[in-house]
DNA sequence: CTGCCGATATACT
DNA sequence: GTATATCGGCAGC
């Protein structure tokens, strides 16, 4: 590994709560498509009961215990794929879940990928109502960019399987929105979700979340 | 708009 | 057998 790749990998070898907000505005590239990361969540391994790695390694979560900068992909509810960036040094589990992208290129590919398979009655649902829903959720962005379990373990620094995370020079938002993680039943008090409040491509929860966060404030 | 529901891989009791 | 880091259809406001 050259010095450039080593520097890129060290970015990920930290606490996912530090890495997550810094991933906002970086680009995920895969399958000839690219999108700007606009919503993320941190999962903190052995100290986080909501993390798949909380109870130690299993076959599914093995990638999270591997080297940083790789892709951890798992199947949610047996239906949807979810893509995470592995953080922390090798041997320590941690990850950032990619929850939403702003699509940048490869629109035709993404629209086609988000189309339900010809024979499927229910499985993948219906095509999105607009391009705003091409990648506005963790399962949706994987479907759009063709990320499957075959990409579990892919190196996002070297792009050995065609998937990379790159920067186009845009810094992360100075004041990202912060809120609780979505769809968990434990550790719900942790504010470990970050998103760009100005971007319309965030997930449904983040679109409604602005209202929730302000109405909850008693002052 | 809100809320309920089913699909179903993987891990755990 | 039960729970889960989701999604889209549908019913009812």
> CA of A208 and C1' of C10: distance in angstroms?
21
Q: Which range among A126-130, A136-140, A208-212 shows the weakest confidence by mean pLDDT?
A: A208-212
User: Nearest nucleotide, C1' to the C-alpha of A54?
Assistant: B11
Confidence band of A205 (pLDDT split at 50, 70, 90): confident
User: Nearest nucleotide, C1' to the C-alpha of A121?
Assistant: B7
Residue A206 beta carbon within 7 A of nucleic strand C:
no
Residue nearest to nucleotide B6 (CA to C1'): A122
Looking at every residue in chain A, the average pLDDT score rounds to 90
List all nucleotides in chain C with at least one atom under 7 A from a protein Cβ: 3-9
Residue A182 beta carbon within 7 A of nucleic strand C:
yes
Residue of A3 and A69 predicted with greater confidence: A69
Task: Tell me the per-residue pLDDT of A146-178, one tens digit each, with 9 for 90 and over.
Answer: 999 999 999 999 999 999 999 999 999 999 999
Residue A129 beta carbon within 7 A of nucleic strand B:
no
Q: Please write down the HEC assignment for all residues of chain A.
A: CCHHHHHHHHHHCCCHHHHHHHHCCCEEEECCEEEEEEEEEEECHHHCCCCCCCCCCCCCCHHHHCCCCEEEEEEECCCEEEEEEECCCCCCCCEEEEEEEEEEECHHHHHHHCCCCCCCCCCCCCCCCCHHHCCCCHHHHHHHHCCCHHHCCCECCCCCCCCEEECCCCCCCCCCEEECCCCCCCCCCCCCEEECCCCCCCCHHHHHHHHHHHHHCCC
Task: Tell me the per-residue pLDDT of A72-85, one tens digit each, with 9 for 90 and over.
Answer: 999 999 999 999 99
> CA of A83 and C1' of B10: distance in angstroms?
16
Residue A97 beta carbon within 7 A of nucleic strand C:
yes
Q: Assess whether pLDDT exceeds 90 at residue A126.
A: no
Q: Assess whether pLDDT exceeds 60 at residue A122.
A: no
Residue nearest to nucleotide B9 (CA to C1'): A78
> CA of A184 and C1' of C1: distance in angstroms?
21
Residue A79 beta carbon within 7 A of nucleic strand B:
yes
Residue nearest to nucleotide B12 (CA to C1'): A55
pLDDT of residue A210: 52
């Amino acid at each position: 590994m050259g010095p450039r790749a080593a520097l890129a990998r060290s970015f990920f070898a930290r606490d996912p709560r530090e890495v997550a907000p810094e991933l906002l505005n970086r680009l995920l590239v895969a399958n000839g498509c690219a999108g700007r990361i606009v919503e993320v969540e941190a999962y903190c391994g052995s100290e986080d009961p909501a993390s798949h790695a909380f109870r130690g390694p299993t076959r599914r979560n093995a990638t999270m215990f591997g080297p940083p900068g790789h892709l951890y992909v798992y199947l949610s509810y047996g239906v949807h794929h979810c893509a995470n960036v592995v953080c922390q040094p090798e041997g320590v589990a941690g990850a950032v879940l990619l929850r939403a992208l702003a699509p940048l290129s490869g629109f035709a590919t993404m629209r086609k990928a988000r189309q339900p398979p010809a024979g499927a009655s229910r499985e993948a649902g219906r095509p999105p109502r607009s391009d705003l829903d091409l990648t506005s959720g963790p399962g949706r962005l994987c479907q759009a960019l063709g990320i499957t379990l075959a990409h579990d373990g892919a190196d996002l620094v070297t792009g050995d399987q065609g998937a990379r995370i790159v920067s186009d020079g845009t810094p992360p938002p100075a004041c990202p929105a912060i809120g609780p993680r979505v769809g968990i039943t434990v550790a719900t008090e942790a504010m470990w979700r970050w998103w760009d409040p100005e971007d319309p491509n965030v997930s449904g929860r983040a679109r409604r979340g602005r209202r929730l966060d302000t109405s909850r404030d008693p002052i």
